[in-house]
Amino acid sequence: MGSYLITGGTVVTATDTVAADVFIDGEQIAAILAPGSLLGAGLRREGVPVISADGCYVLPGGVDPHTHFEAEGQSVPVLDTFATGTRAAALGGTTTVIDFAYARPGERPAQGLDWYHSKADGQCAVDYGFHMMLTSCDAGTVADVDQLMDRGVTSFKLYTAYTGTLYSTDDVILRMLQHSRRSGALMMLHAENGPAIDVLREQAVEAGQTEPRYHARTRPAALEAEAVHRVTRLAEVAGAPVYIVHLSSAEGLGEVVRARARGVRVLAETCPQYLFLDEDRLALPGFEGASFVCSPPLRAKEDQEALWKGLSDRHLQNVATDHCPFCRDQRLPGVDDFRKIPNGLPGVEHRLEQVFHGGVAGGKISLNRWVEICSTAPAKIFGLYPRKGTLAPGADADVVIFDPHAGHVVSAKTHHMNVDYSVYEGQALSGAVRTVLLRGKVVVDDGRYTGASGDGRFLARGASITEP
Ligand code: URP
Ligand code: ZN
Ligand code: ZN
């Protein structure tokens, strides 16, 4: 691990945009220097290697707080491993991921965490942490949460969907929110009304409506909004913050906005699929629609506009990918019944570039807000700030050099995720990640991967900042 001087770029953080050089010493940022400073000149004389960022933005590495590498909870396994998925993340400028660990049936969450460490440790190309899914809550779950907090897992996902498997009832959710107020754990909610969705799904299949598009029709936005309303009310009663994962609709966002207006500490993420894709994709001919099945489902074009506005108005804090790829063949069991199509889409590689493209180049958000949404806010919310999420002396030297003019086209032929198609095939992006450093090591050099599996370290996380 050496030193580097990154010169000639524009440093962009959540708060500043400034022409500056960045001095990296070992694994950390040592100084942000005015261009041509005496210290910079001295470092050059001493032979510190220079990385040119001329014409580029220099920003903190991305933090993607929602991935599902090597998950086995659905009928077929997720294809990206921790090795392949984090390598794709690095190539897209994401230097930290937080994945969802879970316990297998009959096991406690601590055993689930051991299992996830055995999958990820020594494999990852970027730094990583875990959330824990809480799926079969019982009298011991409060102690499980405390135990995991001591092991650096400080956020937990509960579900109002998927009855019979992942689903939690309101009493369980309230108790966990009450405990989170005491312990400082952050509860994350998958908010869709599972029992009501079950009725609509059954009725659709009885009526012969078995194609992929009925996946979206049977999970209407009203049932996301209902669940967001309910869990934000429960958080209000508990006096605890709550984080809504993968928010997909204008109606759901409306409930977030109303809860925030009441003073509830609701935080929420959306995902690129809800910003760029709409429900028409599910109606593509020849079972192609199955490649776009995720939950919550893709929505209408108007929802995309509302979500962008939510990001700009600060009602939504993060864009996370919910990366959960299945190839086309893995979806075939659902050819006669959409309920059997595994849920989830690929995307971990493109988040930073997509939010720049749609948000900054699209005139919807500022450069600083882009960095905040993709790096700073998730680092704060998930207990990693200021080590991650900013460029400042003492922070980890996770740095992205981003060329705003290097347009490129997304394609399964060139992406690095382990999946045989792209939901964004043909999307022309207006900027590209050029170079990436992970704790001072160049892991992507001019678009080429130069890192190794095992470069990434487990991050024991601290408490959330719930007012990012
Ligand atoms: O369809 C999705 N989003 N699959 C991943 C699991 C989840 O609920 O986040
Ligand atoms: Zn979910
Ligand atoms: Zn997910």
Q: Which atom of ligand 1 is nearest to the CA of 293?
A: 1
Provide the strand spans (E) within 151-200.
155-159, 186-190
pLDDT 10s digits, 439-459: 999 999 999 999 999 999 999
| Residue 1 reports pLDDT greater than 70 | no
Residue 264 CA to ligand 3 center (angstroms) comes to 23
Tokens representing 406 are 């290097």
pLDDT of residue 36: 86
Mutate to test the pocket of ligand 1, among 98, 158, 165, 246 (most ligand atoms within 8 A of CB): 246
- List residues near ligand 1 (CB under 6 A): 68, 190, 246, 294-295, 322, 324, 343-344
Residue 67 CA to ligand 3 center (angstroms) comes to 6
pLDDT 10s digits, 429-441: 999 999 999 999 9
Minimal-distance CA residue to ligand 1 atom 8: 295
Minimal-distance CA residue to ligand 1 atom 2: 344
Residue 166 CA to ligand 2 center (angstroms) comes to 10
Nearest ligand to the CA atom of 273: 1
- Mean pLDDT of the region 16-29: 98
Alpha helices by DSSP H, 372-433: 377-381
| Residue 10 reports pLDDT greater than 90 | yes
Residue 35 CA to ligand 2 center (angstroms) comes to 45
Which residues are CB-contacts of 96 (< 8 A; sequence separation ≥ 6)?
A: 61, 62, 63, 64, 126, 127, 128, 129, 379, 384, 388, 398, 459
Residue 280 CA to ligand 1 center (angstroms) comes to 19
Q: Report percent pLDDT > 70 for the chain.
A: 100
Q: Exposure of 200 by Cβ count < 10 A (0-12 exposed, 13-18 middle, 19+ buried)?
A: middle
pLDDT 10s digits, 75-102: 999 999 999 999 999 999 999 999 999 9
pTM of the model: 0.98
pLDDT 10s digits, 160-177: 999 999 999 999 999 999
Split at pLDDT 50, 70, 90, the class of 468 is confident
Residue type, 67: T
pLDDT of residue 2: 85
pLDDT 10s digits, 308-353: 999 999 999 999 999 999 999 999 999 999 999 999 999 999 999 9
Nearest ligand to the CA atom of 294: 1
Say if CB 195 and CB 422 are below 8 A apart: no
- Arithmetic mean of pLDDT over the chain: 97
3-state SS class at 33: strand
Residue 245 CA to ligand 2 center (angstroms) comes to 6
pLDDT 10s digits, 220-250: 999 999 999 999 999 999 999 999 999 999 9
Mutate to test the pocket of ligand 1, among 295, 326, 331, 419 (most ligand atoms within 8 A of CB): 295
Question: What residues sit around ligand 2, an ion, with C-beta below 5 angstroms?
Answer: 190
Residue 60 CA to ligand 2 center (angstroms) comes to 27
Q: Report percent pLDDT > 90 for the chain.
A: 98
- Mean pLDDT of the region 122-141: 95
Q: Which atom of ligand 1 is nearest to the CA of 166?
A: 8
Chain centroid offset of residue 15 CA: 21
Say if CB 292 and CB 298 are below 8 A apart: yes
DSSP string, 189-234: EE-S-HHHHHHHHHHHHHTT--STHHHHHTS-HHHHHHHHHHHHHH
pLDDT 10s digits, 256-288: 999 999 999 999 999 999 999 999 999 999 999
